[in-house]
Amino acid sequence: MLRPETADEKAFRRDVRAWYEAELPHELRDLTFRPEPPAAMAWYRRLAARGWIAPHWPKAFGGMGASPVQQVILLEEAARIGAPELPTQGLNQIGPILQRFGTPAQKARHLPAILNGEVIWSQGYSEPGAGSDLAGLRTRGRIEGDEVVVSGHKIWTTWGHNADWIYALVRTNDAVPRRQGISFILIDLHSPGITRRPIRTLADEYEFCEVFFDDVRLPLDQVVGSVDKGWQIVTALLDEERIQLGSPSHSLRALERVRRLARVLGEDLDTQLRARLVEAEIAVAALTAAFLQTLEAVELGRASDPSSLKILSTETTQLVLDIGQELCGSAAALKTPERVAGSVIDFSELYLQSRRLSIYGGTNEIQRGLISDRVLKLPRGGKS
Amino acid sequence: MMQPTADQTLMRDNAIRLLGDGAARTRAATAEWPAIDRSIWLEVCRAGWPALLLSEERGGWGASAIDMIAVLEGTFSTLAPEPLGPALSITPLLARCGTKAADELLTRLLRGEALALMAGADPFPISPGLDYVAFEANWADTIICASGAGSDFRLWAIPSEGLDVHSPVRRTIDGGAQRVFPGSDAGWQEIGRGVDVEMAYEHAVNLQRLGAAAGLMGIAQRALDMTIDYLKVRQQFGQPIGAFQALQHRAASLHVACVAGRALVYEAGLSMGSARERVACAMAKARSSTTARDVLKECVQLHGAIGFSDEYDLAVCFRKVMTLASAYGTAEACAAIIAREIGGAGRD
């Protein structure tokens, strides 16, 4: 962060740093993969108990109501110490959706459980035949009395094999244009009729899975908003709620990795690589600036530009990791992180994982289409 | 993203209105080179613009760096030849020197009678021995430069005509002029010395760099706006070319680049006066230089043949961006500053 911190902000940073140093178990530092659920959720609950798990949630919902600068301080300190990546679907996606669109009963049931780390959420949007063209989804929800019966197939579900609940889009009406017949529904993944199959990724890990629904019966009150009006929830979800996709969290982690490499290389770092290190520093500074200023604009009630932020955030991470690969030299292909001169250096794993960033949450091609349409207002048509 | 406040917008729009059709004057200046027309500059001075950053007790507006960024994004985007950016950044330095000579230079600058502008150390001189480089050199009646460090720091004033014989002005592509000259104090007048003046000088260098960065992003945004407009009206294959996804995605990428560049410039503005000022301004200038150049290249390409034509103001934008990117610390020079400040070890 380039802007100077106030005395309170400096004190907050000292608190965060000291707390992380004291509380974060060493076996959870500098992991390149998300830890398994027991370890991940134990740490999640420690952060929750400290009051820092939901910096961007309003205080009214039990969040921290943190200022933009406080949010960035938390991200920077987590990156610095190598804190583990935690599941975010509850905190960043379904939590804010329920805060806005949930019934009192849905809020009371689910928001505290997200905040306290009692449940892990996953997202059921993508299907084998509906990725970027999400409205083409075919998983069906048949209304029978006060129940919905769900049948179909979701895929690329991040951490779905570890999750307890999934929020999903299902087709509840075939007689209307395709975006008007979709419902948004909350599904307990332990319900009868659900089968999950983990999928191995490019990074040689089980980060996502596919989920099969075979006549899964759910009470109708697990629909969020009205039946057939689920698409509005996805699109009406205000820009500010999508901003977390553009947070510098991953870029800061990647930069920390590059800084450690540079520290280890020290005097051996040649001029060209030093220039690339500077390029990484500038790129992350620009992203952090854009993120801070976006949060501030939202606080002032101004329109934000979450698609630009998502592109900037994910492509910055990928750029920084490209630079990291060059700094690694012949070690770039090593599979396992190693401790070198007192620093844990990850060679390849973050790089492999980072390919997903420009694909998930709406591919960066979809985001460019949104910018073209909504921000630049270029004419439609000609799209294949 | 950070948007100027209502007051800043008003201030910026007033400056833009005063400068009017800057591109036309830049074209005229190119034709008349190296002569300059001071009539608009006199109006700029009468309206008090060069005193924007000067403290109120010194008769200035006491404006912030963010105010300056908002104003310069606008004024540079008019493509006007008048050197408001460099003039703005030098006034607090002259005010800090505490010498009669510096006070006189400041007074004459504010009145529009004569202009003193800073020359910087050229980090990568093409010709050995030519240590200093000054931009807007045909506007500068006096060139201000520095030597030494700490208690040996000296700030010098050099009358431009004294340099004409051995270091004549050289034409730059934007219709302006550059002068490179060796470090020798023959005929130089000392106007300040010591640690305090050195700090004021460093601050002025950073302000000048930040102002240029704001200007680069202002021009890049203007060029992008022109390009988006063109994509909407230019018809080929029976439809506006902006309907083609191949072009839409490129336009969107340019938009993202401008968003990031502008955010960094404003963030650097917030760092002014803090320990991060030097790094932040170097980052802003490095990023805006490469971003603006990349944006302009794409804007020319997206226009097709008309983009390569001098009749269109995009050409003026392009040449101004190339010049500004090379001035007040290139991206490479700024990267070297950042590398020194953060060290090989990375900052904490």
pLDDT given for residue A305 in this prediction: 92
- What six digits make up the tokens of A17? 């740093």
The gap between the terminal CA atoms of chain B, to the nearest Å, is 26
**pLDDT (tens digit, 0 to 9) for every residue of chain B, 348 residues total?**
688 899 999 999 999 999 999 999 999 999 999 999 999 999 999 999 999 999 999 999 999 999 999 999 999 999 999 999 999 999 999 999 999 999 999 999 999 999 999 999 887 777 778 889 999 999 999 999 999 999 999 999 999 999 999 999 999 999 999 999 998 878 899 999 999 999 999 999 999 999 999 999 999 999 999 999 999 999 999 999 999 999 999 999 999 999 999 999 999 999 999 999 999 999 999 999 999 999 999 999 999 999 999 999 999 999 999 999 999 999 999 999 999 888 644 444
A267: nearest CA partner in chain B:
B344
pLDDT given for residue B344 in this prediction: 44
Distance CA A119, CA A160 (A): 12
Q: How far is A273 from chain B (nearest CA, A)?
A: 10
Distance CA A284, CA A276 (A): 12
Say which of B240, B338, B346 has its CB closest to residue A263. Answer: B346
Last residue of a domain, one of A178, A203, A230: A230
Residues A69 and A149 reside in one and the same domain: no
Respond yes or no on whether ipTM tops 0.85. yes
Q: Between chains, do A278 and B275 touch, taking CB under 8 Å as contact?
A: no
For B130-162, how does the pLDDT look when each residue is reduced to its tens digit (9 = 90+)? 889 999 999 999 999 999 999 999 999 999 999
A103 assigned to some structural domain:
no
Q: How far is A361 from chain B (nearest CA, A)?
A: 17
For residue B251, which residues of chain A lie inside 8 Å, CB to CB? 372, 376, 378
Task: State the average pLDDT for chain A.
Answer: 94
Residues A353 and A270 reside in one and the same domain: yes
Residues A251 and A323 reside in one and the same domain: yes
For residue A4, which residues of chain B lie inside 8 Å, CB to CB? 270-271, 273-276
Residues A46 and A134 reside in one and the same domain: no
Distance CA A106, CA A122 (A): 16
B100-111 vs B84-97: helix crossing angle, rounded to 10: 150
Distance CA B12, CA B215 (A): 12
Residues A132 and A45 reside in one and the same domain: no
Q: Structural domain tally of chain A?
A: 3
The upper half-sphere exposure of residue A111, i.e. CA atoms within 13 Å in the direction of its Cβ, equals 22
Q: Give the CATH number of the domain where residue A157 resides.
A: 2.40.110.10
Q: How confident is the model at residue A61 (pLDDT cuts 50, 70, 90)?
A: very high
Residues A149 and A253 reside in one and the same domain: no
A326 catalytic? Reply is no
Q: Between chains, do A282 and B338 touch, taking CB under 8 Å as contact?
A: yes
Exactly one of A76, A210, A240, A241 is catalytic; which is it? A241
A347 vs A164: which has the higher pLDDT:
A164
A237 assigned to some structural domain:
no
Q: How confident is the model at residue A14 (pLDDT cuts 50, 70, 90)?
A: very high
Q: Between chains, do B260 and A290 touch, taking CB under 8 Å as contact?
A: yes
CA–chain centroid gap for A201, Å, is 17
pLDDT given for residue A238 in this prediction: 60
Q: How far is B203 from chain A (nearest CA, A)?
A: 16
Q: Between chains, do A288 and B267 touch, taking CB under 8 Å as contact?
A: yes
The verdict on whether omega for the bond into residue B34 sits within 30 degrees of 0, i.e. cis, is yes
Last residue of a domain, one of A186, A203, A230: A230
Say which of B244, B248, B344 has its CB closest to residue A266. Answer: B344
pLDDT given for residue A32 in this prediction: 85
For A140-158, how does the pLDDT look when each residue is reduced to its tens digit (9 = 90+)? 999 999 999 999 999 999 9
For residue B286, which residues of chain A lie inside 8 Å, CB to CB? 278, 282
Residues A204 and A289 reside in one and the same domain: no
Last residue of a domain, one of A35, A62, A86: A86
Residues A261 and A362 reside in one and the same domain: yes
Residues A284 and A223 reside in one and the same domain: no
Q: Give the CATH number of the domain where residue A275 resides.
A: 1.20.140.10
Say which of B232, B256, B286 has its CB closest to residue A311. Answer: B256
> pTM value?
0.95
A313 assigned to some structural domain:
yes
Q: How far is B206 from chain A (nearest CA, A)?
A: 14
Domain limits for position A199: 120-230
A182 assigned to some structural domain:
yes
Residues A128 and A211 reside in one and the same domain: yes
Q: Which of B236, B267, B277, B279 best tests the A interface by mutation, with the highest count of A CBs <10 A?
A: B267
pLDDT given for residue A341 in this prediction: 82
Residues A265 and A324 reside in one and the same domain: yes
pLDDT given for residue A319 in this prediction: 97
A239 assigned to some structural domain:
no
Residue A146's CB: how many other CB atoms inside 10 A?
8
Q: Between chains, do B260 and A378 touch, taking CB under 8 Å as contact?
A: no
Q: Between chains, do A376 and B252 touch, taking CB under 8 Å as contact?
A: yes
B235: nearest CA partner in chain A:
A379
A107 assigned to some structural domain:
no
Distance CA A30, CA B56 (A): 52
Nearest to B69 by CA among B149, B2, B125, B126: B2
Residues A252 and A220 reside in one and the same domain: no
Q: Give the CATH number of the domain where residue A21 resides.
A: 1.10.540.10
DSSP class of residue A363?
Answer: -
Q: How far is B244 from chain A (nearest CA, A)?
A: 5
Q: Between chains, do B256 and A4 touch, taking CB under 8 Å as contact?
A: no
A262 assigned to some structural domain:
yes
What is the average pLDDT across A261-265? 87
Nearest to A83 by CA among A39, A113, A121: A39
Q: Between chains, do A289 and B266 touch, taking CB under 8 Å as contact?
A: yes
Return the H-helix or E-strand segment holding A283. Answer: helix A271-299
